[in-house]
Amino acid sequence: MNPAWESIRISVCRRCIDGDNSGVCRLPEEEFCPLEEYFPAVMDVIMAARGRPVEAQVKALRSRICAKCSIGSIESCRMRDTLECALERYMPLIIEKVGSMNVGWARM
Ligand code: SF4
Ligand code: SF4
């Protein structure tokens, strides 16, 4: 497993309400997690925005990830509104974890 994703699995998936408390995802097969699906892009955005205010990083994530996500868009998303999207739900934690990673080994 990629070490960057492993770090997220340990810190985020273990706390995720869609996980089993040990880092294993329990989303139904017909659903997908935008954090996992778009993780390389999530990393790119956060690495590029490192050092900027969290609000700016949140905005950058939405503009890049939500723009490509098949579930919603930058302007509207029902999973964002209901916090069903794990990327949205754990965004501050994800920004903190990815922001503290070493770029050298974290890149996918
Ligand atoms: S929904 Fe996403 S964050 Fe939650 S356990 Fe599954 S892969 Fe991890
Ligand atoms: S908030 Fe909606 S559009 Fe953005 S990543 Fe999550 S599910 Fe996709």
**Type and span of the H or E element at 88:** helix 86-89
Tokens 């069903």 belong to 84
Using the mean position of ligand 1's atoms as its centre, give its distance from the Cα of residue 75 in Å. Answer: 23
Cβ–ligand 1 distance for 37 under 6 Å, the answer no
Number of domain units in the chain: 1
Residue 42 lies in a domain: yes
Contact yes or no for 99/7 (Cβ under 8 A): no
Q: Which atom of ligand 2 sits closest to the CA of residue 85?
A: 6
CA distance 104 to 82: 35
Residue 38 lies in a domain: yes
Q: Which domain holds residue 45?
A: 33-101
Residue 106 lies in a domain: no
Q: Which atom of ligand 1 sits closest to the CA of residue 36?
A: 7
pLDDT at site 54 = 95
Share of the chain above pLDDT 70, in %: 94
Residue 39 lies in a domain: yes
Tokens 């999973």 belong to 79
pLDDT at site 2 = 87
pLDDT at site 106 = 52
pLDDT at 57 over 80: yes
Using the mean position of ligand 2's atoms as its centre, give its distance from the Cα of residue 106 in Å. Answer: 23
pLDDT at site 1 = 75
Note the pLDDT tens digit of each residue in 2-45: 889 999 999 999 999 999 999 999 999 999 999 999 999 999 99
pLDDT band of residue 105 (cuts 50, 70, 90) is low
pLDDT at site 93 = 96
CA distance 21 to 84: 17
Report which bound ligand comes closest to the CA of 74: 2
* Ligand 2, atom 6: closest residue by C-alpha: 85
Q: In b/e form, how buried is each residue of 21-34, taking b as 16+ CB within 10 angstroms?
A: eebebeeeeeeebb
Cβ–ligand 2 distance for 94 under 6 Å, the answer no
**Pick the residue with more confidence: 63 or 102?**
63
Residue 108 lies in a domain: no
pLDDT at 104 over 60: no
